[in-house]
């Protein structure tokens, strides 16, 4: 039985040796992984610092842009107010023109007969004026109109047609 005890001790020693070897392999793998993690953390730290700087610059630019937009917006508000005032003025002008047009139309409708008489009389006056101009141009050209009983004594330019 003593042999059995030795065999059990050898089996236990071999098992312990296998356990130690597997723990050693595991620890070496963990050591390698932790080394990679450390390198990654270092790179992450430097990348994070770069990102922080870029974020700060971006934040400053955003603030400057916001101030610029607010300034331009306040200037634009004045322009919008001016355009609104111009639009109101145009609306008032249109309303005034509509009132004037309506008033003129009403007056023309009320005075239609008078306007027709004025047009007729103006046509008569223009006709008389045209006849007078035509007669004058004919006289200047040397033509005379027939006047009853015109004699040489009355007109020195009298030409006898007989």
Q: CA 65, CA 73: separation in Å to the nearest integer?
A: 12
If the chain, 162 residues long, is cut into consecutive pieces of 10 residues, what is the mean pLDDT of each piece?
A: 88 95 95 93 87 93 94 85 87 92 87 86 93 86 62 55 49
Which residues have CB under 8 Å from 160's CB, separation 6+? 152
Question: Are the C-beta atoms of 67 and 75 separated by less than 8 Å?
Answer: no
pLDDT of residue 86: 87
Q: CA 87, CA 80: separation in Å to the nearest integer?
A: 10
Place of tokens 């006056």: 125
pTM of the predicted structure, to 2 decimals:
0.37
pLDDT of residue 109: 84
């Amino acid at each position: 039985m003593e042999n059995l005890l030795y065999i059990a001790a050898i089996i236990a020693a071999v098992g312990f040796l296998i356990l130690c070897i597997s723990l050693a392999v595991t620890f070496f793998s963990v050591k390698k992984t932790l080394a990679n993690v450390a390198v990654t953390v270092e790179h992450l730290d430097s990348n994070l610092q770069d990102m922080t700087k870029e974020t700060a610059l971006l934040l400053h630019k955003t603030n400057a842009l916001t101030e610029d937009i607010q300034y331009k917006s306040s200037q634009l508000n004045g322009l919008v107010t001016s355009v609104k005032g111009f639009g109101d003025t145009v609306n008032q002008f249109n309303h005034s023109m509509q009132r004037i047009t309506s008033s003129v139309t009403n007056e023309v409708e009320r005075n239609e007969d008078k306007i027709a008489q004025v047009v007729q009389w103006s046509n008569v006056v223009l006709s008389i004026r045209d006849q007078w101009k035509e007669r004058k141009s004919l006289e200047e050209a040397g033509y005379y109109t027939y006047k009853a009983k015109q004699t040489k004594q009355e007109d020195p330019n009298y030409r006898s047609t007989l």
